Amino acid sequence: MILPDYAIEAHSLHKTYPATRTTPAMAALKGFDLKIPRGSIFGLLGPNGAGKSTFINILSGLTRKSAGTVAIWGRDIDTRTRDAKAAIGVVPQEIATDVFFTPRESLEVQAGLYGVPKRERRTDELLAAMGLTDKADAYVRQLSGGMKRRLMVAKAMVHNPPVLVLDEPTAGVDVELRRQLWGYVESLNAKGVTVVLTTHYLEEAEALCDTIAIINRGELIACEPTTQLLRRLDSRSVIITPGTVLTIAPDLAPFQARLRANGDLAVDFKTAQAGVEQVLAAVRAAGVQIKDLRTEDPDLEDVFVSLTSRANGAQISGL
């Protein structure tokens, strides 16, 4: 069997919601191209209303696209609809469970809907992986919100799909359960499952994702390996612990200085224009005693804010 190079491919994808009596027509997706490599953990980020959920709903068959093509595991969602749906498992953002079933019954019913023969079902394995073995025969209505979310992940995996889409999977989940969930996701990825993740916890995306795409107002504004995306910002910061307490940040022009809540002095500079030595020279010239120092590189949140702000400004200026 020849495996596809890309787990998901979208070309010139559009989605426009028609006008109603109270709202004008709205373009949720504006013709973007996206290729998600097979075997990756792929981050799909964007502010609220950017179009992420619309894209996921198109993949899962809940929303009809207006134009363009989409293939899942090499199977066009229009011409090979059933095969495409069999290749993907989707964990939606909203918790949706049948509260009158037990977790075991929920997984068995879901497996039946996908036509998984009883001898091939992995109900106990999935319950154990999600830490739900001791709740397997309790009613779902008795589960906590975090447990219900883990059950949804298990339901998405009953048919062993090669592509797993997680839409805000750790919302409302405590730290310990979040780590357990990511451990399972990474183990799935190690076995070849392609994982597509949307999250508002940018540190999670930075730690987990090989590649990250950023959507803003229905348009794809970036899609790069995570390490390359983090190099987008030509900036670094020198963090100085002063020898004496500072009450205000000194003027270190052309560098930008700011006091942090813990008393450290953060000095931002463009790496193409200066180096750490020039920053330290400016600090010393301002009479600041240096007790300790370190440098910081930009994180994903900095890149995200920079790219979305720049895109929004360009769109506003073009109105």
Q: What was the pLDDT predicted at 149?
A: 85
Phi, psi of 316 (to 5 degrees): -65, -40
Distance between CA atoms of 210 and 216, rounded to whole angstroms? 20
Tokens of 228: 């390359």
10-residue stretch averages of pLDDT, the chain, 319 residues long: 91 93 88 94 89 93 95 96 94 83 95 94 92 93 86 93 90 76 89 92 86 90 86 78 92 90 89 84 92 82 72 46
Residue 319's pLDDT is what? 34
Angle (nearest 5°) at CA 252 between 249 and 256 = 75
Where do runs of H (alpha helix) occur along 93-201? 103-113, 123-129, 145-156, 175-190
122: nearest Cα among 153, 154, 88:
154
CA-based nearest residue to 171, from 161, 181, 156, 163:
181
Q: What is 51-68 written as a DSSP string?
A: SHHHHHHHHHTSS--SEE
Q: Per the structure block, which two tokens stand in for 287?
A: 């009479």
CATH number assigned to the domain covering 6-227: 3.40.50.300
CB atoms within 10 A of CB 212: 26
Q: What residue segments make up the domains of the chain, in order of their start?
A: 6-227, 235-297
CATH architecture under which domain 235-297 falls:
2-Layer Sandwich (3.30)
pLDDT, residue 63, reads: 94
What is the rounded radius of gyration, in angstroms, for the C-alpha atoms of the chain?
Answer: 24
The whole-angstrom separation of Cα 218 and Cα 92 is: 19
- Structure-token match 């298990």, residue found: 154
User: Cβ of 148: how many Cβ atoms within 10 Å?
Assistant: 19
pLDDT at 85: 93
Same fold, 6-227 and 235-297: no
